[in-house]
Structure 1
Amino acid sequence: MHDLLPAWFIRESRAFDGYMIDYLPDGVMLRLPDGTAVSLPGPAPQVDGGGIPAADQFTLHDALTAIVATYGRREVILRPNPTMLLEREVILPTAAEHSLDHVLVYEMDRLTPFAAADVVFGARIMRRDMAAGRLHVCLSLVPTAALGGLLPVLRSAGMEPLALEILRPGPGPLHLSLTQRRSMAQRRARHLLTGVAAICGGLAVVALVLPFALQSVAYARLDRRMASVRAPALAATRIRQDIQGEAAGRNLIRTEQQRLGNPLVILGALTTALSDDTYLTDLSLQQGRLLISGQSHATTAVIQAMNADPVFMAPSFAAPVTRSSDRGYSQFSIQATVGKR
């Protein structure tokens, strides 16, 4: 089975010194740290996403336990079938870049058919549209069901799955982290920082305690003098904070209106553009994109009126116009980008 694999599929990382497991359509193969390939007992991955049967789990568990006992290594990287990889482009606000993983976990069930707990995912920023305030992200994921219950078997055998490695022709392999592996350099840095932090903590205690001891009498005198003016000062501080909070709120509203358009201006422009024989059944405004639906005797006149108003940019029909035979009305759906005012 190993000899039948293409050359690009059997490339592996020289820096990794643990186990590599190829979870292939025709079976499970483990690569030892010395490069030897071992075919593991157990069924081939289930096409329908089913798990490994209990009897095969015990057999696979015993084989993996014996390997860990023999070689003493625990870390393992899984390489599933590349067809298990799912990718799509996701558009998020630019503010999401600082906490991209957390945002994707929260939005996973909206962006994909899966919950965040049911996938192994990674994200790569494709481009930043600063003018529109949007971040274009490539979301890559592998459903855990595609691994057929292999992860619990590995962990019960004493192995530590670190990541999924998706081998692809052309670009380098894609790594989807299963856990955050710390290198030896990171461990040494952590111990060093712990020692430095302890020393700094001792010095900080000395630096804090000594001035307080010397100045405790002076502070007591200052406290008595400040007691008479503390209440008015606190009241002034609260008033200042209230004023600053209101100003910040007004600035936020003003900024969003400049970026996405003022809803009152948009409604006024629509009222002016629509004729008396036109009425709306639905209106939505999201991220500067306006979508209206309704009925009219002259749908062409509606879109011409919107096109003449500078508030609306590039109005177009979002769906075919359908005509009602009994009343002479035509149902329409028009989309447009809202301009700034």
Structure 2
Amino acid sequence: MTTPNGPAYRRIATEEAFAPPEILDRYRDLLRDGGGDRGFQSLWGFYLGSTAERPRWVVDRLADLGVKRIADMDAHGIDHQVISLTCPGTQLFGTAEATALARHVNDVAAQAVRDHPERFTALAAVALQDPTAAAAELDRAVTQLGMRGVILNSHMQGRYLDDREFWPVLEAAEALGVPVYLHPNTPPDSMIEPLYEAGLDGAIYGFAVETAMHVLRIMSAGLFDHFPRLRLVIGHLGEGLPFWIPRIDFFHHAQVLSGRYPAMKAVELRPSDYLRRNVWFTTSGMAWTPAVMFVRDVVGADRVLYAMDYPYQCVADEVRELDALPVPPSELAAFYETTAVELFGLHH
């Protein structure tokens, strides 16, 4: 906010979900027909099937890119949202449908940005089922629709970005100079069972397990050697990875030397070096001062930026907590605004 009595910067929230009604309707169809994996059935069976107040409110706000969302932003002091398609996005549909839906999602998001340019910026959705078409859609979204990055909702039906089949999308992102936001997904059927049976498969822990593993797969596969200028954004303060840096570095080095795993080959840098060179960390859902300060300390303050995780986690107290971070005003301005402006190429 730039009011006489407020801070001289905008609060830009960078992991803010939406879902056009058409996507939600297709999710309902899949639930009715028993489609999708177990994680989808668990997550969206809850949000679209529960009569409790919070899930009903979340679904209502996901579909709104106008009055209600902007009113919520105003109530919480959020000046600008970087909006992106909620998980699992289009990644559980057939190829043709997923490709068409991604294009529709991008057209909807682009219209919202045109309607409210001061309030919204959008990340592109793509259908990884056809990586060549996905790269073309990302190019259209950036060069024609003005989108400032791409949202990938983590695994593609149990397959990960270390699979070279998906690399055309990453090549396109690097060439276009836009970041890839790697958003969590519920774990695939091959890993979900012990999490699901304990009620831990979603945001409480399963998201972090799934996405942290995905990032480690990316690094150990040498993806950042192949795409050294690729910028990856992860939420929730890095899904725990910053805390594990010494152990990850130690055992990655040891396992490469031992030849224990055929898939784990030598790469140019340590995992922690890639975290500090290629990865940015948002605070979505983790507005906790000790954790924010720790991540800033270990990866660099210029790598940590604000996100709310709207509408799933929308709490005014979290904004007040981060307003009080023990940092100089210039660093708070970077945390809330200028890092996001530079990372996503936003307009000042």
Question: With structure 2 as the length reference, what TM-score do the two structures score?
Answer: 0.24
Q: Which has the higher strand share?
A: 1
| Higher RCO structure, 1 or 2 (CA under 8 Å, sep 6+) | 2
Q: Highest Rg: 1 or 2?
A: 1
